[in-house]
A and B are shown apart, each in its own frame.
Chain A
Amino acid sequence: MPIERGLQYLRQMQRVTLKNLPMPLEKTEKWKKAHPDENTMKAVMSKKGPIARNSLPPFGIDPIQAEGRLPWILTVPKEPYYEGVEEGRQYLPMSLRTLQRLIDLRRVNPEKPIDLPVLCNTKLFSIQPDQRQFGLQLTDEGADIFSTPINLEVQWVSSELAIAAIERCGGVLTTRYFDPISISALIDAKKFFERGEPIPRCDTPPINAIEYYTDPKQRGYLANPDLIREERQRLAQKYGYKLPDPSKLSQLFCLRKDPRQIFYGLEPGWLVNLKDQTILKPTDKKFETFYHS
């Protein structure tokens, strides 16, 4: 009978005391011997040497193979001065002084909008798209000399003074992004048309450039026109000039390209035939949806 067996166990087993109860939080002596704490370790181990003095080499380094020298990975220093140079975008500088000079020598017509193909046709700037050059940037040398109203489109402007110098004379400035395929089409437009390729659709700027091109202070092409107007007024008050009356300006000054458009007056997708003086436009629906997206 199970009761009798239980009673038999009771007769044989020890009396239950505090010492016999296995308390879960208290550690037995056997466990403590197997897991010595810091103080016992200190008393037991030697008090000299790299272990006691906390000067062991870092993990992953074999002290025998190192033979007292630093491993090769630690001996060669890191000099990150040109880190990210291969990914950086380059813009060729163009000063306001050269622009004014071009206008005075009648190499560029200030009455029509001035953008990248117009400036590249003067053969003063040689832009190489395979060297990660993305266009032209405007520098502020010659800000006091500049005195013609123009509708200018560059790829980068870094100083507020350059923007103010153009708007003071009654001009308009926008910064515009072109991807490398569009740049190779814009640099030498005649050669591009002779190649027989349809006009490309311009991509949106990369993520590290979106902040720049949506900024009204840099007159980005993706910025809100309301905010750009505020910034124009702010600069006019800051530097002390008057903004021109918009009704008196010619319509060419208000002209702006669509964000997907590269050439003024030509749509992406069109094929320009210079020999027969014709333009071929795609009629298939899939091409139309692509080039209008």
Chain B
Amino acid sequence: MNSMYNFVYRKCLCLSTRYFLINNRTYKSNLSYDKLFPNCKSLDILSGPIKSPTSESTGNAKFNGFIPIDKLEITHRHARGPGGQHVNKTLSGVEIRFHVDSATWIPDWIKSRFRDMNQTRVNRDGYFIIFSDETRHRLLNQGQCLDRIRALIREASLVPKGLSDEERKGIEERKKTSSNERVIRKRIQSLNKQERRSSSVDLS
């Protein structure tokens, strides 16, 4: 039957690709994806709109969590610790570097604080270096490095809230009252000491 395009059954059941790419022959049951998810924006797993950030945060905005992997330099190194031949041969340690000043994906107001807080990790040339070899898998170590970078950026972005006007006024008032009370106490104590002394007034 030549109308059925070239259906050949071989050991690994590979149908001719053109057969099942013909779109009007796709099978749709009651549980097909367009019936299960009618309000879905795109039924394709690979392409479609995504809510989470896919591009860098710009300028003075908040850090949105996106790190462009192209702009980081990732190298695989030897890990430290016990493990014999396996640890000596496999490169499961991961080092990530990037130049802090030219990193456009960190907002500017965080960058200076970030550099100050992580002086020990920043190179003389201005490169931020981080290294991880805690797990046996390279992917997990890479994930840990990135996680640490995100945590450090968040730490740098937390600016402490200043005092409000009411709080400042309250502090000043309290200071004044406490100093006044201290002065009164001192005067009383000095009176006590004066009365103990012999007076030079003649009481005859």
Which of B14-22, B159-167, B176-184 is the interface stretch? B14-22
Assembled-state Cα–Cα distance A140/B40 (Å): 31
| A interface footprint on B158-199 (CB within 8 Å = 1, 0 otherwise) | 000000000000000000000000000000000000000000
* Residue pair B29, A293 in contact (C-beta under 8 Å): yes
Q: Does A74 contact B (CB under 8 A)?
A: no
B203 near A: Cβ within 8 Å? no
Closest to B143 in A: A239
CB of B11 within 8 A of CB of A121, answer yes
Are A237 and B29 in touch, CB under 8 angstroms?
Answer: no
Give A contacts to B, CB under 8 Å.
108-109, 112, 117-118, 121, 140, 143-144, 161, 164-165, 168, 172, 174, 189-190, 193, 201, 204, 222, 224-226, 228-230, 232-234, 237-242, 244, 246-247, 249, 251-256, 258-261, 263-265, 267-268, 272, 274, 277-279, 291-293
Given A225-B33, A241-B69, A268-B29; 4 other pairs, CB 8 A cutoff:
A240-B69, A246-B44, A254-B46, A292-B30
CB pair A258–B27 under 8 Å, yes or no, is: yes
Cα separation A174 to B43 with both chains bound (whole Å)? 14
Decide: A279 and B7 in contact? CB cutoff 8 A.
Answer: yes
Q: How far is the CA of A114 from the CA of B54 in the complex (A)?
A: 30
- When chains A and B are docked, how far (Å) is the Cα of A265 from the Cα of B26? 8
**Contact in complex: A237, B74 (CB < 8 Å):** no
Contacts A232-B45, A237-B66, A278-B1: A222 and B27 contacting too (C-beta < 8 A)?
Answer: no
Q: Which residue numbers of B lie inside 8 Å of A, CB to CB?
A: 1, 4, 7, 9, 11-15, 17, 19-21, 26-33, 36-37, 40-52, 54, 65-67, 69-70, 72, 74, 90, 92, 96, 137-140, 142-143, 145-147
B12 touches A121 (CB 8 A): yes
Chain B positions within 8 Å of A259 at CB level: 29, 31-33, 36
B20 CB contact (under 8 Å) in A118, A143, A264? A264
Distance, CA A267 to CA B19, complexed state (A) = 13
Q: How far is the CA of A40 from the CA of B197 in the complex (A)?
A: 81
Residues in chain B near residue A232, CB distance under 8 A? 45
Say yes or no: A292-B143 contact (C-beta < 8 A), given A143-B137, A226-B48. no
Chain B residues positioned under 8 Å from A234 (CB to CB): 52
**Would A274 and B12 be within 8 Å (CB), given that A240-B143, A267-B27 are in contact?**
no
* Given contacts A117-B13, A258-B27, A233 and B43 within 8 Å (CB-CB): no
Known: A165-B139, A252-B17, A265-B20. A292 touches B42 (CB 8 A): no
Q: Are B46 and A253 in contact (CB under 8 A)?
A: yes
Pair B13/A189 contact, Cβ less than 8 Å: yes
Contact B137 A144 (CB under 8 A): yes
Residues of chain B within 8 A (CB-CB) of A224 are: 37, 40
Query: Would A118 and B45 be within 8 Å (CB), given that A240-B69, A242-B70, A279-B4 are in contact?
Result: no
Taking the closest CB of chain B, its distance from the CB of A76, in whole angstroms, is 45
Q: Contact check, B14 vs A225: say whether CB atoms are below 8 A apart.
A: no
Q: Tell which of B15, B50, B139 touches A264, judged by Cβ atoms closer than 8 Å.
A: B15
Contact present for B51 and A254 (CB under 8 Å): no
A selection of 27 A-B contacts at a CB cut-off of 8 Å is A109-B14, A118-B13, A121-B12, A161-B137, A165-B139, A201-B29, A225-B33, A225-B42, A225-B48, A229-B50, A230-B51, A232-B45, A239-B140, A240-B72, A240-B74, A246-B46, A249-B46, A252-B21, A253-B46, A258-B26, A259-B29, A259-B32, A259-B36, A261-B29, A267-B27, A268-B29, A292-B28
Chain B residue contacts of A260, Cβ below 8 A: 27, 29-31
For the complex of A and B, the 9 pairs showing the least CB-CB separation, nearest first, are A265-B20, A246-B47, A260-B29, A246-B46, A259-B31, A267-B27, A239-B143, A144-B138, A240-B142
Contact, CB under 8 Å: A274 / B47: no
- In the complex, are the beta carbons of B20 and A225 less than 8 A apart? no
**CB within 8 A of B139: which of A161, A263, A265?**
A161
B41 cross-chain contacts in A, Cβ below 8 A: 226
Q: Are B9 and A225 in contact (CB under 8 A)?
A: no
Q: How far is the CA of A229 from the CA of B51 in the complex (A)?
A: 9
Q: In the docked arrangement, what's the CA distance between A190 and B12, Å?
A: 10
B4: chain A residues at CB < 8 Å are 278-279
Q: Which of B17, B67, B138, B142 contacts A112 (CB 8 A)?
A: B17
Q: A144 to chain B: closest CB distance in Å?
A: 5
How far is the CB of B28 from the nearest CB of chain A, in Å? 6
Closest to B42 in A: A225
The CA-CA distance from A204 to B29 in the complex, in Å, is 12
The reply to whether B13 and A263 contact each other, CB–CB distance below 8 Å, is yes
Partner of B69, one of A121, A190, A204, A242: A242
Cα separation A205 to B45 with both chains bound (whole Å): 21
